[in-house]
Amino acid sequence: MTRIVYVNGDYLPETEAKVSIFDRGFLMADGVYEVTTVIDGKLIDFDGHFTRLERSLNELDIANPMDRDAWLDVHRELVAQNGIELGMVYLQVTRGAPGDRDFIFPDPETTTPTVVLFTQSNAALVESPKAKKGIKVVTIDDLRWGRRDIKTVQLLYPSMGKMMALKQGADDAWMVQDGAITEGTSNNAYIIKDGKIVTRALSNDILHGITRAAVLRFAREAQMQVEERNFTVEEAKSADEAFVTSASTFVMPVVAIDGADLGSGTPGPLATRLREIYLEESRKAAI
């Protein structure tokens, strides 16, 4: 089946979809994105992703091309047209294609944002073999820009970080700034010590994860202790458990950091429980 994608108002086979070579997303990474997970053909935390999209666009002075209900319609239409049961919807909005390449932002009256959405199917999304074994991470310097709270399409360093991890036989990298972990290359990072969940507080240093917000809410509702503060690499290595969160991996246990096993080197009980709670609650609230 040919995938149907959405480009600037049209639903098209992916082979017919086109974006200008002058698009500022292509030339300057001048754009933002969101990834919304689909379970049982329904969208997980759509409103969280929509709200963050609005914020990202606002921070970059790009007008939001659609209201909430129009965005929801496009998401649902793509899920239906592509028969997605388990997978995700990717959306990207760029500042558009003004014609000439210029550092100065084009006039929004004459250059409208480019909107692209597509789906990806993933049968192993929920029953993930990685979640059963846990993942290994290595630490690397956080060399990204200073506005990591905006979900931009500048993903080169995170991509390099994943490659550095793979070369060391690990699955992912945790990034470090001034001795403290900021976050994973495409996820938020947590450690657990003596029953307390610790994760970096929200600021411009990290992406304000939609899954993070949900998981911390569920953890507090389940009477788990949560501390939002910086934690060091040393603290992480001596933690009882660790995990990461993202829309596409939910709660993913981390079993080793820089080659040192955490606890028994298998997914810890709290991370495992949080994954179950997250999946159960998110399924119930999916739209």
Catalytic residues: 151
**Does 212 interact with ligand PLP (rule: CB under 6 A)?**
yes
Interacting residue with ligand PLP among 31, 113, 134, 209 (CB under 6 A): 209
Q: Kind of pairing, strands 114-121 and 241-246?
A: unpaired
Q: What does R_g of the chain's alpha carbons equal in angstroms? A: 19
Q: Does 186 help bind ligand PLP (rule: CB under 6 A)?
A: yes
Q: Residue length, the chain?
A: 287
Q: Which two tokens stand for residue 81?
A: 């047209």
Q: How far is the CB of 38 from ligand PLP (least distance, A)?
A: 13
Residue 207 sits in the site that holds ligand PLP (CB under 6 A): yes
The verdict on 247 binding ligand PLP (CB under 6 A) reads: yes
Nearest Cα to Cα of residue 105 among 95, 115, 114: 95
Site for ligand PLP, residues 124 to 143, rule: CB under 6 A: none
By CB under 6 A, residue 162 contacts ligand PLP: no
**Which amino acid makes up residue 263?**
G
Query: Which C-beta is closer to ligand PLP: that of 139 or that of 188?
Result: 188
Q: Give yes or no for residue 152 binding ligand PLP (CB under 6 A).
A: no
Regarding 94 and contact with ligand PLP (CB under 6 A), the answer is no
Between CA 156 and CA 279 the distance in angstroms is 30
Torsion angle of alpha carbons 68, 247, 174, 224, nearest 10°? 100
Site membership for ligand PLP, residue 173 (CB under 6 A): no
Applying CB under 6 A, the span of 122-130, 132-140, 209-217, 271-279 interacting with ligand PLP comes to 209-217
Given a contact cutoff of 8 angstroms between Cβ atoms, the answer to whether 209 and 188 are in contact is yes
Q: Is 282 in the site for ligand PLP (CB under 6 A)?
A: no
Q: Which amino acid is at 16?
A: E
The one-character DSSP state at 203 is: S
Residues 82, 139, 187, 282: which binds ligand PLP (CB under 6 A)?
A: 187
The only residue of 82, 114, 188, 282 in contact with ligand PLP, by rule CB under 6 A: 188
What span, in angstroms and rounded, lies between the C-alpha atoms of 248 and 46? 13
- Site residues for ligand PLP per CB under 6 A: 183, 186-188, 207, 209-212, 245-247
